[in-house]
């Protein structure tokens, strides 16, 4: 090889290196970067000013799902929307329906979007409750990101969120602090941006860590803060019960990971709760008495169990929604007994006065099959309570048939181990077959009658097979403990109620 040829090769190599090292990454960074700045000021905390800087992926701006009862959906609360180019020149924006806007772009350049969101959400009716929208308390403001942020495209490599807040305010978010800044966050996926919630104010936080999983509570007002100790020990107890039961931390699909969940709690007229993404918003009814208090703890523990049953493993279609919701109800009731928030009597009382009442009061019971999962919001009793009773009945059958060696917990662990961390889903048939295996008896008739079929589940019949006496009179279920029980019967009852594990 002559010297010229070597020089030629070196030159080519140099060009590749220069081109490859400096030019390409720079271009990519610019295109795949979006940063939000959210400013809330002391003078009017019920206005959030938002600025977004990015190179648009396309000409559409939009907000997240929800607020369908309003003509302009989330855009009802958006004011003064402006888009400017790099030189500060105003660009034309067309307002479309459905909380969308179209921007007129000349070239592929970085633009700045600015707008304010007025926190007037409490002046409107929300079928799912204000807990899934936005509200203010004496101590701060709560926003779901779908109510606050305007999006463009749905794939971003670099998402940054910056908060400018009044002095002494802090902010609870599901994201990671960027370079340890208190008010700057790095969001790892678009889904973690769009399905999130934040609380900013002088509220208080509880942080609970297990390995690399973090659960953060934002306590949004004085009423909730006065119960901080109780919430902390309840949450730790419930978390540990679920980890022990399942055999590990939540394991969502690898392409949609999370290791931080937030729970926002505030007081309200009525008890309500909503899960968005991996996060939970709970409102605790102020004047609802003991039942309302129990329900608010129940809502938290229910949504929390979905990090396993629903996020780590889920059914292939709506046909098995009764397991996702109903077994979650069952394990939530067990969790509240496990941590001694409930005792045997109050647990059985909650079962009959809340779940059984919802079940017999549901017009779908006796007419519809619980495999109609798409009906779950109209038929809570049939699907959430009915699914729970399927879980209880099967748990009783498994424990009675295996001398309490096996239980429904084995089905949960099986699903967690098989499907955790994957995108695969379980089927109704697989559940029936696994329950046949665990009970040691063919469960086809049970499924044909109570799951695929529309017959009312005789819960009292199953409860009477353990150390309980149950009867139904005029649609009311009463349950008492049998006066004497063998040690084995007591162990089975403990297993069903959630005492120990």
CA angle at 227 for the pair 226 and 229, rounded to the nearest 5°: 115
Phi, psi of 369 (to 5 degrees): -85, 145
CB of 273 to Zn ion, least distance (A): 9
How many residues appear in the chain?
A: 501
388/396 with CB nearer Zn ion: 388
- The two tokens of residue 450 are 């109570």
Q: Pick the stretch among 152-160, 163-171, 215-223, 321-329 that binds Zn ion (CB under 5 A).
A: 321-329
**Minimal distance in Å, beta carbon 380 to Zn ion?**
10
Q: How far is CA 391 from the centre of its chain?
A: 22
CB of 272 to Zn ion, least distance (A): 13
Smallest gap, in angstroms, from Cβ of residue 483 to Zn ion? Answer: 37
3-class SS string, 123-159: HCCCCCCHHHCEEECCCEEEEEHHHHCCECCCCCCEE
Which residue's CB is nearer to Zn ion, number 101 or number 327? Answer: 327
Cα–Cα nearest to 328, from 385, 279, 368: 385
Q: How far apart are CA 230 and CA 33, in angstroms?
A: 42
Report d(CA 236, CA 354) in Å as an integer. 25
DSSP state string for 177-233: EGGG-SSEEEE-SHHHHHT-EEEEES-EEEEEEETTEEEEEEE-SHHHHTTHHHHHH
Rounded to 10 deg, the angle between the 289-305 and 228-246 helix axes is 40
Nearer to Zn ion, 221 or 325 (CB): 325
Q: In terms of CB distance, is 373 or 495 closer to Zn ion?
A: 373
| 303 contact partners, CB below 8 Å, separation of at least 6 | 273, 274, 275, 280, 282
Rounded to whole angstroms, the Cα distance separating 97 from 71 reads: 8
Nearer to Zn ion, 274 or 325 (CB): 325
Kindly tell me which of 241 and 322 has the beta carbon lying closer to Zn ion: 322
Contact letters for Zn ion, residues 268-307 (x by CB under 5 A) = ----------------------------------------
Span from 72-80, 325-333, 402-410, 448-456 in contact with Zn ion (CB under 5 A) = 325-333
Which residue's Cβ has the minimum distance to Zn ion? 325
Instruction: With CB under 5 A as the rule, give the number of residues binding Zn ion.
Output: 1
Least spacing, CB of residue 312 vs Zn ion, in Å: 14
Q: Residue 358 Cβ, how far from Zn ion at the closest point, in Å?
A: 14
And the tokens for 287? 């004047």
Structure tokens at 311: 């996020």
Q: Looking at beta carbons only, is 121 or 324 nearer to Zn ion?
A: 324
CB of 122 to Zn ion, least distance (A): 25
CB of 165: closest distance to Zn ion in angstroms? 33
Furthest CA-CA distance within the chain:
102
Binding range to Zn ion, per CB under 5 A, among 184-192, 229-237, 324-332, 437-445: 324-332
- Of 120-128, 149-157, 205-213, 317-325, the window that binds Zn ion (rule: CB under 5 A) is 317-325
Specify the stretch interacting with Zn ion by CB under 5 A; choose among 92-100, 192-200, 318-326, 404-412: 318-326
User: Where does this chain touch Zn ion (CB under 5 A) — which range of 323-331, 362-370, 394-402, 482-490?
Assistant: 323-331
Of 327 and 450, the one with the shorter C-beta distance to Zn ion is: 327
Nearer to Zn ion, 325 or 395 (CB): 325
Q: Least distance in Å: CB of 305 to Zn ion? A: 8
Using CB under 5 A, which residues numbered 441 to 460 contact Zn ion? Answer: none
Task: State the minimum distance, in angstroms, from the CB of residue 328 to Zn ion.
Answer: 5
Q: Are the beta carbons of 371 and 326 closer than 8 angstroms?
A: no
State which residue, 325 or 375, has the beta carbon closest to Zn ion: 325
3-state class (DSSP) for residue 371 = coil
Could you list the residues that contact Zn ion (CB under 5 A)? 325
């Amino acid at each position: 090889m002559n010297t010229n040829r070597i020089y030629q090769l070196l030159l080519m190599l140099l060009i590749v290196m220069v081109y490859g090292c400096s030019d390409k990454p720079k271009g990519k960074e610019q295109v795949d970067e979006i940063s939000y700045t959210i400013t809330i000021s002391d003078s009017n905390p019920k206005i959030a000013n938002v600025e977004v800087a990015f190179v648009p992926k396309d000409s559409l701006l939009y907000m997240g799902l929800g607020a369908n009862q309003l003509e302009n959906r989330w855009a009802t609360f958006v004011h003064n929307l402006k888009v400017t180019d790099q030189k500060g020149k105003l660009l034309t924006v067309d307002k479309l329906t459905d909380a969308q806007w179209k921007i007129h772009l000349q070239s592929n350049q970085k633009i700045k979007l600015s707008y304010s969101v007025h926190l007037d959400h409490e002046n409107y009716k929300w079928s799912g409750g204000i807990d899934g929208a936005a509200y203010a308390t004496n101590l701060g403001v709560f926003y779901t990101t779908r109510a606050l942020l305007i999006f463009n495209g749905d794939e971003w490599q670099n998402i940054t969120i910056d908060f400018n807040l009044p002095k002494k305010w802090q902010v609870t978010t599901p994201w990671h602090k960027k370079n340890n800044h208190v008010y700057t966050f790095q969001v790892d996926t678009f889904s973690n941006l769009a399905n999130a919630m934040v609380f900013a104010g002088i509220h208080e936080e509880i942080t609970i860590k297990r390995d690399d999983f973090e659960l953060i509570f934002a306590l949004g007002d004085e009423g909730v803060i006065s119960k901080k100790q109780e919430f902390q020990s309840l949450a730790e107890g419930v978390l540990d019960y679920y980890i022990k039961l399942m055999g590990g931390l939540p394991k969502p699909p690898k392409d949609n990971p999370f290791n931080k969940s937030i729970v926002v709690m505030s007081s309200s007229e009525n008890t309500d709760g909503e899960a968005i993404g991996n996060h939970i918003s709970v409102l605790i009814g102020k004047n609802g008495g003991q039942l309302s208090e129990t329900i608010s703890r129940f809502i938290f523990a229910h949504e929390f169990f979905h990090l396993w049953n629903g996020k780590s493993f889920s059914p292939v279609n709506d046909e098995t929604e009764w397991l996702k919701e109903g077994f979650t109800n069952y394990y939530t009731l067990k969790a509240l007994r496990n941590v001694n928030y409930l005792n045997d009597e109050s647990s059985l009382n909650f079962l009959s006065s809340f779940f059984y009442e919802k079940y017999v009061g549901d017009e779908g019971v006796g007419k519809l099959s619980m495999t109609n999962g798409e009906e779950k919001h109209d038929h809570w009793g049939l699907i959430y309570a009915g699914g729970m009773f399927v879980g209880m009945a099967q748990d009783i059958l498994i424990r009675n048939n295996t001398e309490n060696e096996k239980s429904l917990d084995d089905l949960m662990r099986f699903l967690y181990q098989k499907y955790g961390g994957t995108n695969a889903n379980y089927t109704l048939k697989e559940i029936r077959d696994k329950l046949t295996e665990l009970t040691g008896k063919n469960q086809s008739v049970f499924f044909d009658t109570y799951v695929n079929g529309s017959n009312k589940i005789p819960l009292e019949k199953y409860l009477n097979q353990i150390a309980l006496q149950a009867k139904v009179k005029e649609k009311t279920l009463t349950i008492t403990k049998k006066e004497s029980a063998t040690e084995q019967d007591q162990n089975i009852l403990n297993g069903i109620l959630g005492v120990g594990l």
